[in-house]
């Protein structure tokens, strides 16, 4: 009996990282679609009262642990980037940019006469 319990705990502890990855609050609908349809090939409703940990284990999520964890990490990275962009956008929102001419117009003769810009002369 003790050996069976140890085996069950060992098997469950292997699935903890993937379950933790699926609990990532940064996962968006697009990430969930990728997990559900492209990896697990199952369309399930996370809001369903019948959906629980046993449902995930029955889908053999451990076999897809690497892919699911990658998507979860990607979701976190995308969130951080979006957060940084929002901060930058807020800083730039009230920034006033003014423009002025760089230099006065270039004389037309310098443009129309290509020989005037040569540095060497013929002898």
pLDDT tens sequence across 42-89 = 888 888 889 888 888 888 888 899 999 999 999 999 999 999 999 999
Q: What would the DSSP string read from start to end of the chain?
A: -HHHHHHHHHHHHHHHHHHHHHT-TT--HHHHHIIIIIIS-----TT-TT--HHHHHHTTGGGGHHHHHHHHHHHHHHHHHHHHHHHHHHHHHT-------SSPPPPHHHHH-GGGG-S----
pLDDT in the model for residue 109: 53
Q: Is the pTM of this model over 0.75?
A: no
Residue 106 pLDDT > 90, yes or no? Answer: no
**pLDDT at residue 52 in the model:** 87
**Rounded Cα gap, residues 26 and 6, in angstroms:** 33
Per the CB < 8 A criterion, the answer to whether 35 and 68 are in contact is: yes
């Amino acid at each position: 009996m003790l050996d069976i319990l140890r085996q069950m705990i060992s098997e469950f502890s292997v699935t903890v990282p993937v379950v933790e990855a699926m609990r990532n609050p940064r996962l968006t609908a697009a990430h969930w679609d990728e997990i559900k349809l492209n990896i697990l090939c199952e369309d399930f409703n996370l809001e369903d009262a019948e959906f629980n940990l046993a449902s995930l284990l029955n889908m053999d999520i451990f076999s897809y642990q690497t892919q699911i964890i990658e998507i979860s990490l990607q979701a976190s990275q995308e969130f951080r980037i979006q957060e940084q962009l929002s901060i930058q956008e807020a800083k730039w929102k009230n920034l006033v940019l003014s423009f002025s001419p760089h230099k006065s117009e270039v004389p037309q003769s310098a443009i129309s006469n290509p020989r005037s810009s040569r540095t060497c002369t013929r002898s």
